[in-house]
Structure 1
């Protein structure tokens, strides 16, 4: 879905302009997204397989929920909205724990440059996977995986996981282990 998003300056603050997400990706404009890592009391992490029609990393496993932050939207509000939209789970601000940001630029092709600042949140909550209602345009399937199996999967040479980078995953895995 195309939506209006804020364009950011080099330090990650809105620069006063907005554009459609498709234009930001076409021109490589710096913009923001929210990443939400959801796990339960047993430290089983919810991961999602991206839909086959996605422009970036189709059919790869990824963070529990992720999405662009709409224009004039606070990152935490975006996180709550995206969790509801993508997997049908209702959460509140007190369910989210902010752990930091990660900056990433990937040139998929000349017309798709994804330059993002990820606001990363943890969400420790008990839920039933079978009760989730996935948004089929975004998500092909979801699965629960132990934190150790997730670490092994991400570090595998044959990983079918979105490559967020070593420092990103270290921040996430350390936070889940400590939470």
Structure 2
């Protein structure tokens, strides 16, 4: 995986070449990613679905993250990004079934890892319920959901902790249900501004196109 080739970009988002995944994260080159957020509506409440990253992951193991996401390889376009949804959580969607939230530009640094992404971000609404996911266990250990307004509160600083519910799946496929309070430390440490922008865009999409006045 570290030898996969990825297109790199300058600060103005102009392509400047191709590097391995390892080089991209070591040198902090801007590169493309595909992010897909799933939202489920229950009794006019919107719930964001988060994947729980596997304990086997090199980066951010055992933390909650975007529903499905991954890098775009050098020979791929945004259309190819939907493969991440099928691979990681077993849900088949086309790009036409998703709503674009635009391209988010952000950077996360942790130790030797410098992750500068141009994230092509999409939203799927009511594509599945929590129990319909088929997990790629080496990548995803479980799934969970959080109310949209709680997620907003956690990252705008108005809430110290929020309720999250979901399940962890073992190698045999058995699912252990959980329901608990968590803070930001339970999630991949994307910048707060990143989470705030994503949730704002999700809310706008729900209000404008789905008709939910949340």
Q: TM-score, normalised by structure 2?
A: 0.74
RMSD: 2.0
Is 1:52 matched up with 2:55? yes
| Pairwise CA distance, 1:56 | 2.3
Structure-2 separation of matches of 1:40 and 1:94: 18
| Pairwise CA distance, 1:109 | 2.2
Q: Structure 1, residues 137-170: CA drift from partner, whole Å, max 9, x if none?
A: 2111111222123334445373211222233222
* Count of aligned positions: 176
Q: Structure 1, residues 12-51: CA drift from partner, whole Å, max 9, x if none?
A: 2322x21221221122222111111111233221111111
SS at match of 1:127: coil
Structure-1 separation of matches of 2:47 and 2:109: 32
Q: Structure 1, residues 99-134: CA drift from partner, whole Å, max 9, x if none?
A: 122222333223x22222222111113313222111
Aligned partners of 1:28 and 1:115 also within 8 Å: yes
- Report the equivalent of 1:123: 124
| Pairwise CA distance, 1:11 | 1.7
| 1:170/1:61 CA distance change after superposition, 3 Å | same
| 1:76/1:13 CA distance change after superposition, 3 Å | farther
Structure-1 separation of matches of 2:80 and 2:148: 26
Structure-2 separation of matches of 1:148 and 1:124: 16
Structure 1 unaligned residues grouped into runs of 5+:
none
Aligned partners of 2:152 and 2:196 also within 8 Å: no
| Pairwise CA distance, 1:53 | 2.5
Is 1:11 matched up with 2:12? yes
Structure 2 unaligned residues grouped into runs of 5+:
162-182, 207-214
Aligned 1:84-103 pairs, distance under 5 A: 84-103=86-105
- Report the equivalent of 1:171: 197
Aligned 1:13-92 pairs, distance under 5 A: 13-15=14-16, 17-42=17-42, 43-78=46-81, 80-92=82-94
Runs of 4+ in 1 over 4 A off after TM superposition: none
- Report the equivalent of 2:109: 107
- Report the equivalent of 1:140: 141
Q: Structure 1, residues 51-76: CA drift from partner, whole Å, max 9, x if none?
A: 12223222111111110011132224
Structure-2 separation of matches of 1:88 and 1:75: 19
